[in-house]
Structure 1
Amino acid sequence: MLKVSRAFLMAGAMLFVSGCMLGANYQRPEQPLPEQFTEIEGWKHAEPADLADKGPWWQLYQDELLTGMLHTLDASNQNLAAAEAAWREAQAALGSTRSELYPQLSAQGSSTRSAQGRDQITKNKNVQLGLSWQLDLWGQVRRQVEAGQARADASAADWAALRLSLQAQLVQNYIQLRTLDEQIRIVQRNLDAYARVLKITENRYQSGMVTKADTSQALTQFRSTEAQLLDLNSQRRRLQHSIALLLGQPATGFQVSAQAGLPAVPVLPKDIPSSLLERRPDIAAAERRVMAANAEIGVARTAYFPSFSLNASGGYRSEQWSGLLNTPNRFWSIGPQFDLRLFDAGARRARSQQAQASYDQQVAKYRQTTLEAIVEVEDALVQLLSLQDEYRVQAQASAAAQEALQLIENQYQAGMVDFLAVSSAQTTALNAERTLLDLQARQLTASVQLISALGGGWHQEIIE
């Protein structure tokens, strides 16, 4: 009984000092953000906010069909499903690591027959319980739990980053699809106009008012535009296939109905806090990996210190099942175990250096991710603000081209100009209208890129 008491006293002393944890506690690496961005006023110094609610940013585009598609993406995209499973895997691994902080209880029962040479066969019946507890004196397991938690959080951030990326990709594909619908509408309208001009030219040729060259030019213009229409429809079908893949649906038979007009271009507010940048999940994931690498340094350092465990077992052993649980058949053992590696040819030092190098690598990746995020925001702002000015100027040019076309068509019908002037005016008007549509689509795409670069939208309740 005295030996048992001493064993428990030793275990208690070990538990008393088990609050020690080797390695430095985690501190966020220094990575200052700009007080304001070059392209817009009103930015403020950032504070960590990767868990902030991003809100339904896609509502900025005021398109119900797009909103429905994004809900379908969340529910059906297979890459998202794989990322969610990876997060659950990381959570399960964390639970497995955390279990090592607690005692392990086992039960065992056996019935064996043995003999050596011509000796009599020996029977042995055994029933026992075992208890083992690896004491976390130097914080090895707690650092492993800390690293596992950081990895699980990084996996969650990876999941969120993939979701944001896929959402942005879907919105951009949807914008391209709506742009193609508008291009098809414009080209079809011009094709109808070209058909009317072709008919007028053929009639004038039959009357001897124009040469065969005019009808050939009119027919060439009509057929070329018809070929453009076929190509646009082919592009639309391929784009539908890409959207189907994002929505986790078979491309065969998938259809997106054509609608008039493009989604609304989000209005860029005058003041946006730079804290929105801190919501980017890729930045959060990079920082979580720094945290995990920091904890692994502590794990590596514990290898220099001895490990202690408490083992206890007890049960009954007899040659027969009958009377197995009688007192004479009882046995037990209890006691601590000490383990210290005295020589390993530099293996522990190498593992510590490896852990430190891994930490430095993750810090550099975190800082690079942050710098790239700033560049993405700046680039998106430059493009969006520039496109707004371009669109305004191009709208004036397109209106002027349409007015000129109307005047020249009237002059052609009156016999005042030849077909070359009509063809040139039609081409100019068509190109101006398609350029205007392209600028509007590029504005929408740039807004998606800015939203993605900021980690989400800029709803009023978020920026205030």
Structure 2
Amino acid sequence: MKLQLSRRGFLGLVTAAAQTSVYLLTGCMVGPKYIRPAVQTPPAYTAPVAEGGQDIGQVAWWHIFQDDELDHLESVAAIANEDIAIAVARYDKAAATTRTMRAGRLPQVGAVVGAERNREPKFRPNNATTGRAITYNDFATELTASYELDAWGRVRRSIQKSSALRQAASAEVSFVRLTVQAEIAADLCDVREADEELTILDEQIANASHAARLVGTRLHRGLSTAQDLQRTVALADQLQADRQVVSLRRTQFVTAIAILTGQPPERFTIAVRTRPLISPLIPAGVPAQLLLRRPDIAEAERQMSSASAGIGLAKANFLPTLTLTGLAGYQSTNAASLVDWQSTVESLAISAVAPIFTGGRRHAAEDQARAAYRESLEQYKKTVLQAYGGVEDQLAALESLKQQLRYQREVAEADRDVLRLAQQSYTAGLVSYLDVTTAQAALELSEQNICVLSGHAMVASVALIKELGGGWEEIPLP
């Protein structure tokens, strides 16, 4: 349907069209109204929860480890990490798409400037009276405008869909950033554990070497056997082999940190630093807070909102698309009279384009949109469930490591007593050096286990912080 109007009624109909546009813009919007689904939250975690500690939502969470090296690495990664940069680029792409959709709320205005020279043959209908061919010029300068009347909410649903995807991309940036931060912190904890373990091994190697010298002296005096000496040498060699394993593990963690901070591994180093491996207290809060603290949950929820808007968009495609178009300018066969009032041309038209037969494509598109929403809903529920499970696992892991450390320290204390008694008995000639080396190996293993368990507890603390959402808090997403 197309209606051509004269200049006389042009202004009046423009006003009427504008009023109609306002009405249509505030009119109905087909499709379901999105409501965030309620999810069941447990009243409390089943695993023991630490009391006290520093609220990780108040500061950059890695500060609770009080490690200047970690603070520096996190600041470098925020700028140089490739995964974060990729996520930011995805957000920028989603934001640009949203701006494109929002442009649909405004009229599209263009300009046409043209000049033509035409020749119509003698036997054209317009030349019947003259009986000869006509050659003429045609000049035009016009402004054109078109505007989709959003009667059914198609444009608004498109904006809702893209805006939700943009917000999901923003939450994804936060989640990727949190993941990178946690990986750096965990890897540095492993480096610190390796440093502490290397210190213990160096001390044990020195003790083993000293013991070998003492046994050698006793052998020279006829107080020990060659077998005793071989045992001490073998113990020292085993400790050297263990040191190589730990040193390699440290190198691998340093390389991982270099990659996470966007630096070439061959030029990246972390100075050896030994300090007590103490896990910080981390308040877990109540489970309901998890929905407000996890960026991946926020991302899943925004994906669900976008899918809901997609249903409305699919339903709007069943209805006619109403478009208002207008034209105003000058047309003349003579350039000298182009801007004369008598050369003005005005046009206003409204068109309705409705699909009649599409072979079931619209119904299939709606079914696809509804299936996408169901998929996003289940993904949201799964994300929430996994979040609760992740927190429970890490709380249980920390409690288990706490108990393991307590028992392992008791074992180490007992091993020290056994070694002391074995050394006294050996000096008195009551036992062979096998008893000493056996007791010494047991103590060395206990000390290494304490170091390893302490490092695992620090890594588990980082994992718990990540499961709790780090320092992220739910804020209005951009």
Does TM, scored on the shorter chain, surpass 0.5? yes
Paired residue for 2:275? 261
Matched residues in 2 for 1:41 and 1:67: separation? Answer: 26
Out of 424, 430, 437, the residue aligned to residue 423 of structure 1 is 437
Supply the distance in 1 between the matched residues of 2:96 and 2:403 (Cα, whole angstroms).
53
1:204 alignment partner, SS class: helix
SS in 2 for 1:265: coil
> Which amino acid in 1 is paired with 2:113?
G
Contact 1:36 1:42 in 2 (8 A): no
In structure 2, relative to structure 1, the CA distance for the partners of 1:268 and 1:316 (3 Å cut) is closer
Corresponding residue of 1:274:
287
- The equivalent position to 1:25 in structure 2, one of 33, 38, 53, is 33
Distance 1:126 1:358, change over 3 A: same
After superposition, the Cα gap between the structure-2 partners of 1:2 and 1:379, relative to the gap in structure 1 and judged at 3 Å, is same
Matched, 1:400 2:414: yes
Deviations 1:34-67 (A, max 9, x none): 1112124799xxxxxxxx9563221222222212
* CA distances 1:273-303 after superposition (whole Å, capped 9, x unpaired): 3343121011110000110011111111111
Cα deviation code 1:317-340 (max 9, x no counterpart): 334543322233322211211111
Aligned residues: 450
Runs of 5+ in structure 1 lacking a partner?
44-51, 460-464
2:192 alignment partner in structure 1? 178
Residue equivalent to 2:325: 311
Name which of structure 1's ranges 379-388 and 106-115 shifts more when overlaid on structure 2. 106-115
Aligned partner of 1:47 in structure 2 is: none
Counterpart for residue 137 of structure 1: 151
Please give the alpha-carbon distance, in whole angstroms, between the structure 2 residues aligned to 1:230 and 1:414.
36
Amino acid at match of 1:108: V
1:101 partnered with 2:105: yes
After TM superposition, give the deviation of residue 14 of structure 1 in Å.
4.5
Structure-1 separation of matches of 2:185 and 2:355: 58
* Cα separation, 2, equivalents of 1:416 and 1:262: 38
The correspondence for 1:451, drawn from 459, 465, 469, is 465
**Cα pair 1:272 1:458 within 8 Å, conserved:** no
1:212 alignment partner AA? A
Q: 2:16 is matched with which residue: 9, 24, 27?
A: 9
Q: Partners in 1 of 2:287 and 2:50 — Cα distance?
A: 9
Q: Quickly say closer, same or farther: Cα 1:88–1:54, change in 2 above 3 A.
A: farther
1:266 CA drift (Å): 1.3
What secondary structure sits across from 1:312 in the alignment?
strand
- Which of 347, 357, 361 is residue 333 of structure 1 equivalent to? 347
1:145-156 equivalences in 2 (<5 Å)? 145-156=159-170
Whether the 8 Å contact between 1:172 and 1:448 is mirrored in structure 2 is: yes
The aligned amino acid for 1:274 is P
Task: Provide the secondary structure at the position in 1 that maps to 2:419.
Answer: helix
CA contact (8 A) 2:317 2:362 kept: yes
The reply to whether residue 285 of structure 1 matches residue 299 of structure 2 is: yes
Distance across 2 between alignment mates of 1:42 and 1:446: 13
AA matched with 2:19: G
Q: Matched residues in 2 for 1:229 and 1:436: separation? A: 16
SS, match of residue 342 in structure 1:
coil
Closer/same/farther in 2, CA of residues 41 and 393 from structure 1, 3 Å limit = closer
Question: Where in structure 2 are the equivalents of 1:34-433 lying within 5 Å?
Answer: 34-40=42-48, 53=57, 55-114=59-118, 122-269=136-283, 272-278=285-291, 279-433=293-447
Amino acid at match of 1:86: R
Label 1:126 to 1:199 Cα distance change in 2 as closer, same or farther (>3 A): same
Residue 228 of structure 1 deviates from its aligned partner by 1.6
Alignment-mate amino acid for residue 439 of structure 2: A
1:148, 1:292 within 8 Å by CA — same for their partners in 2? yes
Q: Residue 296 of structure 2 contacts residue 383 of structure 2 at CA under 8 Å; is this kept in 1? A: yes
Higher Rg of the two aligned structures: 2
Give me the whole-angstrom Cα distance separating, in 2, the residues matched to 1:339 and 1:211: 103
What is the CA-CA distance between 1:121 and the residue it aligns to?
Answer: 6.0
Letter paired with 1:99: A
Q: What SS class does the counterpart of residue 304 from structure 1 fall into?
A: coil
Are 1:173 and 1:239, in contact at CA under 8 Å, matched by a contact in 2? yes
Greater alpha carbon shift after TM alignment, 412-421 vs 369-378: 412-421
Structure-2 separation of matches of 1:458 and 1:267: 18
Q: Would you say the 8 A contact 1:387–1:443 is kept in 2?
A: yes
Question: Unmatched 5+ residue regions in structure 2?
Answer: 1-6, 123-132, 474-478
Q: Equivalents in 2 of 1:116, 1:262: separation in Å?
A: 96
Instruction: Name the aligned partner's letter for residue 111 of structure 1.
Output: A
Cα deviations by residue, 1:185-232 (Å, 9 ceiling, x for unpaired): 111110001101111222222233333222222222211211221222
Normalization by structure 1: what TM-score? 0.91
Counterpart residue identity of residue 370, structure 1: V
What is the Cα-based RMSD across aligned positions, in Å? Answer: 2.4
CA distance in 1, matches of 2:426, 2:232: 13
Distance 1:57 1:41 in 2: 18
Q: Read off the aligned partner of 1:276 and give its amino acid letter.
A: Q
C-alpha displacement of 1:8: 4.3
The alignment-based identity, stated in percent, is 28
- 1:285 corresponds to which letter in structure 2? E
Query: Match of 1:69, as an amino acid?
Result: L
Q: Is the 8 A contact 1:90 1:148 kept in 2?
A: yes
Contact residue 282 and residue 465 of structure 2 kept, 8 A: no
- Determine the C-alpha separation between the residues in 1 that align with 2:341 and 2:442: 106
Q: 1:132–1:311: 8 Å Cα contact kept in structure 2?
A: yes
8 Å Cα contact 1:87/1:156 also seen in 2? yes
TM-score (norm 2): 0.88
Residues 458 and 148 from structure 1, CA distance in 2 versus in 1: closer, same or farther, beyond 3 angstroms? closer
